[in-house]
C-alpha cells in the first residue's frame, strides 16, 4: 500500500483549486460532492485556455498548420488517457460522458442485431434467449441503456442482487451468469455505497460462459489506480468531470479487436472513408465512433487532469481516500440515528459514504449542511433500485477527493450531529 497523501500535501494541493477558497453562507466551502462532479485544478483550466488562445482548429480535417497542430495535441491527449488506464491509444473513444459511452456500446449491439456491421458484428447480435446481466447497484446510466437494448432486441435483462451490506451477492452471481449471458455490465465502485466490486471474480465468471464485460469505471478511474488490461474487461467507461477534468468529455475504452467489429452509433462526418448517395464506408476505430466535430479542448483539458493525477500519484490518492472513507464511516456510525448504507467500517470502500438519518429526510439534511457551507449530495443518486433494495427512497452522500481535508470530514460529522436535534427527532 502506498503512503497516503499527508494533510500538508493536501493543503498544498488545495492551492491549485481556486474554487475551494470561498465562503458559502458565511462558512468556508466544504465540498463533499466530488462523487457528483470534481473541481478543476488551474492546470486543467489553463490547458483549455491555452488551446483556445493558441491552437484552436478543427481536428482530422484541413491541411493548414493550425489544424495539424490541433490534431497532434488532440491525439496526444488520447495517448495520455490511454496510458493512464493501461490501454492503447486506438482503444480510446472520446464520448460526451460515460452515459454516451454505454449507449454507444448498447447501440452497437442493437445495430448488430439489425444486421448492420456485417459478419464481423454478429458476435454483438442479440435476440430472444440471450441475456444481459447487470447488478442491482448500477447507476441508471448503466441500467436504462440495457433495459432499452433488451426491449429492442428481445433479449432478457437479469441482475446480480445486492446484499444488505451493500456488496454483490456473489453466490447468486454464479447462478445469474450462465450459458445465455452475452454481456455483463457492472460498476467497478458504487456511487452510492462505495463498495469496490470484485471485478476479477466476475470477469472470470463472464469468461467462463463467453460473455463480454463492460465496466462502469466512473467512480474508480478518478480514485483508484485502474488498469483495464489487467482487469481484462472488454469495455470501460468513465467521465472527465469526475476526475478533475471539464464536463462534456468522457471515455469509452474497448478492446481493439472488439471495436473493430462494432457498427457505429452516431454517424455523420469525420467517421467515413467513401460516401455515395446511398452508402458509406466507415473509418477504423476510434474515428468510426467519433462522428462530427469532436470535444477538442475538453479532451486536451482531460489529458491535463490525467497528468495532474499521475503526478500526484494514483496509489497515494487511493490510500488517502481510503483513510477518509474510513474516517467518514467511523464518524457516521457514532451519530445517533444514522444508518450507514453499504459496507461496515474496515471493509474497503472508495472515499465516500451514504447514509440515512432516522426521522429526517435527506433533502432536509442537505439543507442544514448547506447552511454550514457543506456541499453533499441528497436524493437517490441516480440509483433508485439500489435505494429500494436498501429500504430507503433517498440518502445523503458525502464524497471526498484528493483535495478533501480531514478537518472537512470532521466538520461535516460535527454538523451532521446537530441535524436530528434541530428537527426535533429524538433518538
Partner 1 sequence: MTQSAMQQLYQQIILDHAKSRNGASAEGLPPLEAAGTAAGASRGAASPAGAGSGSRVTESHQVNTTCGDEVTVRIGLRAGESGGSPASAGEPADDVVIEEFAWAGDGCSISMASASVLHDIVRGENVATARAVLNTFREMLRSRGTIEPDEEVLGDAAAFAGVSRYPARVKCAMLPWVAFEAALLAG
Q: Any idea which residues carry the catalytic annotation?
A: 382
344: exposed, middle or buried (Cβ count in 10 Å: 0-12, 13-18, 19+): exposed
- The minimum distance between CB 140 and partner 1, in angstroms, equals 12
Contact letters for partner 1, residues 378-407 (x by CB under 8 A)? xxx---x--------xx-------------
Stretch that binds partner 1, among 3-11, 139-147, 286-294, 417-425 (CB under 8 A): 417-425
- Cell digits for 360? 429526517
What is the C-alpha to C-alpha distance for residues 335 and 394, in angstroms, rounded to an integer? 18
- The minimum distance between CB 388 and partner 1, in angstroms, equals 11
- Of 116, 207, 248, 423, which lies in the binding site for partner 1, with binding defined by CB under 8 A? 423
Site for partner 1 in 13-72 (CB under 8 A): 25-26
Place of cell 482530422: 60
Neighbours of 347 (CB within 10 A): 16
- The minimum distance between CB 371 and partner 1, in angstroms, equals 5
- Cell digits for 202? 466476475
What is the C-alpha to C-alpha distance for residues 399 and 419, in angstroms, rounded to an integer? 19
- Of 133, 251, 314, 362, which lies in the binding site for partner 1, with binding defined by CB under 8 A? 362
What is the C-alpha to C-alpha distance for residues 402 and 405, in angstroms, rounded to an integer? 8
- Of 276, 278, 311, 424, which lies in the binding site for partner 1, with binding defined by CB under 8 A? 424
- The minimum distance between CB 335 and partner 1, in angstroms, equals 16
User: For residue 405, which of 21, 3, 2, 46 has the smallest C-alpha distance?
Assistant: 21
Contact letters for partner 1, residues 309-348 (x by CB under 8 A)? ----------------------------------------
Q: How remote is the C-alpha of 29 from its chain's centroid? A: 24
- Of 367, 391, 407, 421, which lies in the binding site for partner 1, with binding defined by CB under 8 A? 367
What is the C-alpha to C-alpha distance for residues 273 and 282, in angstroms, rounded to an integer? 6
- Of 133, 145, 415, 420, which lies in the binding site for partner 1, with binding defined by CB under 8 A? 415
What is the C-alpha to C-alpha distance for residues 271 and 285, in angstroms, rounded to an integer? 9
Q: Does 361 bind partner 1 (CB under 8 A)?
A: yes
Residue 356, strand partner residues: 339
Residues that bind partner 1 (CB under 8 A): 25-26, 360-364, 367-368, 371-372, 378-380, 384, 393-394, 415, 418, 422-424
Amino acid at each position: 500500500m502506498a503512503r497516503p497523501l499527508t494533510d500538508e500535501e493536501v493543503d498544498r494541493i488545495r492551492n491549485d483549486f481556486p474554487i475551494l477558497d470561498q465562503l458559502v453562507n458565511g462558512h468556508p466551502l466544504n465540498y463533499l460532492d466530488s462523487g457528483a462532479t470534481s473541481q478543476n485544478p488551474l492546470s486543467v483550466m489553463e490547458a483549455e485556455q491555452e488551446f483556445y488562445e493558441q491552437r484552436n482548429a478543427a481536428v482530422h480535417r484541413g491541411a493548414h498548420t493550425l489544424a495539424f497542430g490541433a490534431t497532434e495535441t488532440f491525439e496526444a491527449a488520447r495517448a495520455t488517457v490511454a496510458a493512464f488506464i493501461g490501454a492503447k491509444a486506438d482503444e480510446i473513444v472520446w464520448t460526451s460522458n460515460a452515459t454516451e459511452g454505454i449507449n454507444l456500446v448498447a447501440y452497437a449491439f442493437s445495430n448488430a442485431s439489425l444486421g448492420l456491421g456485417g459478419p464481423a458484428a454478429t458476435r454483438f447480435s442479440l435476440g430472444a434467449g440471450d441475456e444481459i446481466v447487470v447488478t442491482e447497484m448500477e447507476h441508471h446510466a448503466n441500467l436504462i441503456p440495457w433495459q432499452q437494448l433488451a426491449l429492442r432486441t428481445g433479449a432478457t435483462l437479469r441482475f446480480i442482487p445486492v446484499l444488505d451490506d451493500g456488496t454483490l451477492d456473489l453466490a447468486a452471481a454464479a447462478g445469474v451468469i450462465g450459458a445465455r449471458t452475452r454481456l455483463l455490465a457492472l460498476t467497478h465502485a458504487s456511487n452510492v455505497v462505495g463498495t469496490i466490486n470484485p471485478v476479477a471474480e466476475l470477469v472470470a465468471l463472464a469468461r467462463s460462459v463467453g460473455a463480454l464485460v463492460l465496466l462502469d469505471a466512473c467512480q474508480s478511474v478518478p480514485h483508484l489506480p485502474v488498469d483495464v488490461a489487467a482487469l481484462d474487461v472488454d469495455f470501460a467507461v468513465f467521465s472527465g468531470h469526475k476526475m478533475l477534468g471539464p464536463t462534456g468529455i468522457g471515455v469509452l475504452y474497448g478492446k481493439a479487436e472488439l471495436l473493430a467489429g462494432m457498427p457505429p452509433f452516431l454517424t455523420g462526418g469525420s467517421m467515413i472513408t467513401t460516401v455515395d448517395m446511398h452508402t458509406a464506408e466507415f473509418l477504423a476505430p476510434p474515428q468510426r465512433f467519433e462522428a462530427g466535430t469532436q470535444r477538442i479542448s475538453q479532451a486536451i483539458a482531460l489529458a491535463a487532469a490525467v497528468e495532474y493525477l499521475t503526478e500526484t500519484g494514483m496509489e497515494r490518492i487511493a490510500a488517502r481516500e481510503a483513510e477518509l472513507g474510513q474516517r467518514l464511516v467511523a464518524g457516521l456510525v457514532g451519530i445517533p440515528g444514522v444508518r450507514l448504507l453499504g459496507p461496515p467500517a474496515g471493509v474497503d470502500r472508495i472515499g465516500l459514504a451514504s447514509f440515512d438519518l432516522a426521522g429526517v429526510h435527506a433533502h432536509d439534511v442537505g439543507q442544514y449542511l448547506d447552511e454550514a457551507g457543506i456541499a453533499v449530495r441528497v436524493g437517490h443518486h441516480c440509483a433508485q433500485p439500489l435505494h429500494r433494495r436498501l429500504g430507503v427512497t433517498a440518502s445523503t452522500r458525502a464524497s471526498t477527493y484528493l483535495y478533501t481535508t480531514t478537518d472537512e470530514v470532521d466538520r461535516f460529522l460535527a454538523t451532521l450531529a446537530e441535524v436530528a436535534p434541530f428537527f426535533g427527532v429524538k433518538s
